[in-house]
Structure 1
Amino acid sequence: MSAAPVLAEDTMVPAPPPIDPAMTRTGLISQESIGPRRERLNIASAAMRRVITVDVLRGTGIGPRPTLYLLDGVDGEATSGWLSKGKAAEFFADKAVDVVLTSGGAGSMYSDWDRHDAALGLNRWETFLTEELPPIVESLLQSDGRRAIAGVSMGAQAAMMLAQRHPGRFRAVAGMSGCYSTADPLGHAVTTITVASRGGDVENLWGPPNSPEWVAHDSVLGAEGLRGTTIYLSAAPGLPTGADLVAVANSPSVVDALGLVGGGAALEAGARACTERLAARLGELKIPVTVEYQPTGMHTWADFEAELPRAWRVLASALGLPEPK
């Protein structure tokens, strides 16, 4: 349904990524140019015992430049949805920032799992994103050391979680249409649904619901860790935009497209409630945050694409780049 609104959350269950027990060292295996200022890197991850594909968009101008890590939603496809559906390459084509996009993290919460999962395999994404990947990619890009991280949906939760659990690593964080609690009933439900949507067993993630790991990954409870980080949050109410309705009308299957719209409405309504909860906690702690609630919008890539420029204005300022026009 190429003409229909494309959800960040669908129902495909991937095969578990194969593990190579001999992969005990992390390093860059190959580098390929696939377009103007765009490269694809294959990186051996000792933590996950497999090769992780990473796309890089090199920024404009003469370096060194800051780095933006941009996380995908639950799909975890071979190419990040930000590139295949969210038009990130086009948006950043004239920006003086290097953008790093991972792929293959379907249903993983971009976290380190307690146990290997029969459907989702071995996941050590927090280790990869904070310890293994940055030295490799930032050395290759000759980064200036300024970093930001952003994501949508599952990637929004992960971006906030990584910034909260690693204070000072990122100058700024942006969460678009995410859920940031994990220990309360709403956050536990969202996490369970996210993992289960890809066939995973959520108890392999952080253990049973009473495990301290559920609390340790809760960015509402751990919001103090975000102090000093520039924060952007956004969500919509789940109402279709004009662009969403046009896409439905132009879809080869209007019935199927309307089904996607219904799912997108529910997901975005949940994200709005989650965003309000984190924003309120940051307010209680007197931690500054920029929050934008859109009057319309669902959990679709068309809406995420529209949200990216608003998030970028906040991220760019924190990275010391000129304010976008």
Structure 2
Amino acid sequence: MGEVLDNALAGPETDPEKLANMPEEQESPAGTVKPLSRSLPSTDGGEQSWIQKVKQFPGGEALEVYSPSMERDIPVAMIRATDSAGKPIDNAPTYYLLNGAGGSEQNTDWLAQAAGTIYKTLGNEPVNVVIPMEGAFSYYVDWLTVPEKNRYLNGKQMWSTFLAKELPQSIEPYMNANDKRAVSGFSMSATSSLLLAEHNPGFYDAVGSFSGCAATSTPLPSFFVGLTVNRAGGGVTPEKLWGPMGSEYNRYNDALVMAEHLRGTKLYISSGTGLTSETDMIGYLKNKRGLTSSQAFSNHMTLLVEGGAIEGAMNACTHDLRAKLNAKGIPAHYNFRATGTHSWPSWLEDMRESWKTVIRPALLPDA
């Protein structure tokens, strides 16, 4: 952590040669789609739980989509839009959901933690849902370097290319989808969802950004990024992703800097304050979550200290984004909660509220 802090506080790079580090755009052909045919271990030693959970949805499949840029198959959860008889619906829009930092590798993905909310919110809607199930601690961007392989990082990290080009070209024809789409992310991927829209103007009709930090190229946000990517192991730092702080490619991957490119996209942006809410309390954790007294106390303290601090920082970042968007006259729907830590109850609310207020009207304007 000391090295991460030192790097962040060192200030932006000033060497012009190091600052001019924008990579050339790569070709991005479609990949093949096939049923998932391998076991995917989680870090707790068991199987990643989403593989069974997705099969409980009508139209749910565990798939692999080949990424030419990363030269490997990427696991993907697909929930095809279906009618009341369970028959697939053609010409439906697609809603991409991005996992947070630990992802499916830690069983902290959308299906492991929020399958019930997804079913209640989207299960009866004529919309396809697609969730990439790899990419822990990657920020879902194209990295400048290839990290050492470990249990989280499986080689090249070319997520911007995969998510905005290779995956849609592959999965949308597979589902007979139309050309309307949205993307939402939380925590780490709240930044990623904004960047995908900014790097591909007009491609996404709507974006949800839940409890994230848009900025990445200034000292404090760079420190937050470092804390996240360092958890992947192997000495990963923000420089491995996009080069020196303040470089051309770092600023290209700073959603606050790139905010102008959100113009014309429907936006839902949220954060809490970091103050504890009902769902963080010991009584709630015992009575509603079924935890023992000792488990409830431990979880409460973690939410109070770590979850509160993280969400407080994300709250400041999110207000910076609102100020930038307001200055540019770019509208957005904001959900600024008076309480709430960096935790799943907030993101479950965001799933419901963003669908009702922004995502559904953008994807299903005539419904």
Tell me, in whole angstroms, the C-alpha distance in 2 between the residues paired with 1:234 and 1:25.
33
Matched, 1:281 2:333: no
Report the Cα offset of residue 25 of structure 1.
8.2
Percent of pairs with identical residues: 32
Tell me, in whole angstroms, the C-alpha distance in 2 between the residues paired with 1:74 and 1:52.
17
Task: Give the corresponding residue for 2:61.
Answer: 39
- Structure 2 gap segments, 5+ residues each: 1-28, 38-53, 84-88
Q: Deviation per CA, 1:92-125, whole angstroms, max 9, x where unpaired?
A: 1111211110112110000000111125342110
Work out which of the residue numbers 78, 85, 108 in structure 2 matches 1:56: 78
Task: Give the corresponding residue for 1:20.
Answer: none
Normalised by the length of structure 2, the TM-score is: 0.77
Following superposition of structure 1 onto structure 2, how do residues 21-32 of structure 1 map, counting pairs within 5 Å?
26-30=31-35
Q: Deviation per CA, 1:129-152, whole angstroms, max 9, x where unpaired?
A: 011100111001111110111111
Normalised by the length of structure 1, the TM-score is: 0.86
Contact map agreement 2:141 2:160 (CA 8 A) in 1: yes
Q: Secondary structure at the match of 2:97?
A: strand
Farther off after superposition, 167-176 or 51-60: 51-60
Report the Cα offset of residue 305 of structure 1.
0.9
Task: Give the corresponding residue for 2:8.
Answer: none
Contact map agreement 1:57 1:89 (CA 8 A) in 2: no
Work out which of the residue numbers 200, 203, 221 in structure 2 matches 1:187: 221
Farther off after superposition, 130-139 or 27-36: 27-36
Following superposition of structure 1 onto structure 2, how do residues 53-202 of structure 1 map, counting pairs within 5 Å?
53-61=75-83, 62-78=89-105, 81-87=109-115, 88-118=118-148, 119=150, 120=153, 121-199=155-233, 200-202=236-238
Amino acid at match of 1:95: E
Task: Give the corresponding residue for 1:6.
Answer: none
Tell me, in whole angstroms, the C-alpha distance in 1 between the residues paired with 2:298 and 2:354.
31
Matched, 1:260 2:290: no
Q: Deviation per CA, 1:22-54, whole angstroms, max 9, x where unpaired?
A: xx9831232688232211111121211221110
Farther off after superposition, 132-141 or 250-259: 250-259
Following superposition of structure 1 onto structure 2, how do residues 301-312 of structure 1 map, counting pairs within 5 Å?
301-312=344-355
Contact map agreement 1:96 1:321 (CA 8 A) in 2: no
Matched, 1:319 2:349: no
Q: Secondary structure at the match of 2:64?
A: strand
Amino acid at match of 2:55: I
Tell me, in whole angstroms, the C-alpha distance in 1 between the residues paired with 2:59 and 2:284.
31
Q: Deviation per CA, 1:257-286, whole angstroms, max 9, x where unpaired?
A: 134212111111111111101111000000
Farther off after superposition, 241-250 or 185-194: 241-250
Amino acid at match of 2:114: G
Matched, 1:270 2:313: yes
Work out which of the residue numbers 248, 251, 264 in structure 1 matches 2:291: 251
- Structure 1 gap segments, 5+ residues each: 1-23
Q: Which has the larger radius of gyration?
A: 2
Tell me, in whole angstroms, the C-alpha distance in 2 between the residues paired with 1:89 and 1:136.
24
Tell me, in whole angstroms, the C-alpha distance in 1 between the residues paired with 2:254 and 2:353.
25
Farther off after superposition, 200-209 or 132-141: 200-209
Q: Secondary structure at the match of 1:34?
A: helix
Task: Give the corresponding residue for 1:221.
Answer: 257
Task: Give the corresponding residue for 1:292.
Answer: 335
Tell me, in whole angstroms, the C-alpha distance in 2 between the residues paired with 1:192 and 1:45.
26
Tell me, in whole angstroms, the C-alpha distance in 2 between the residues paired with 1:80 and 1:265.
19
Tell me, in whole angstroms, the C-alpha distance in 1 between the residues paired with 2:307 and 2:136.
18
Root-mean-square deviation (CA, aligned residues, Å) is: 2.0
Q: Deviation per CA, 1:174-212, whole angstroms, max 9, x where unpaired?
A: 100011011122321121111012222322111121421
Contact map agreement 1:66 1:97 (CA 8 A) in 2: yes
Tell me, in whole angstroms, the C-alpha distance in 1 between the residues paired with 2:125 and 2:111.
15
Contact map agreement 1:237 1:272 (CA 8 A) in 2: yes
Contact map agreement 2:186 2:210 (CA 8 A) in 1: yes
Amino acid at match of 1:44: Y
Matched, 1:203 2:245: no
Farther off after superposition, 150-159 or 82-91: 82-91
The runs of at least 4 consecutive aligned structure 1 residues that moved more than 6 Å come to none
Contact map agreement 2:280 2:300 (CA 8 A) in 1: no
Contact map agreement 1:238 1:265 (CA 8 A) in 2: yes
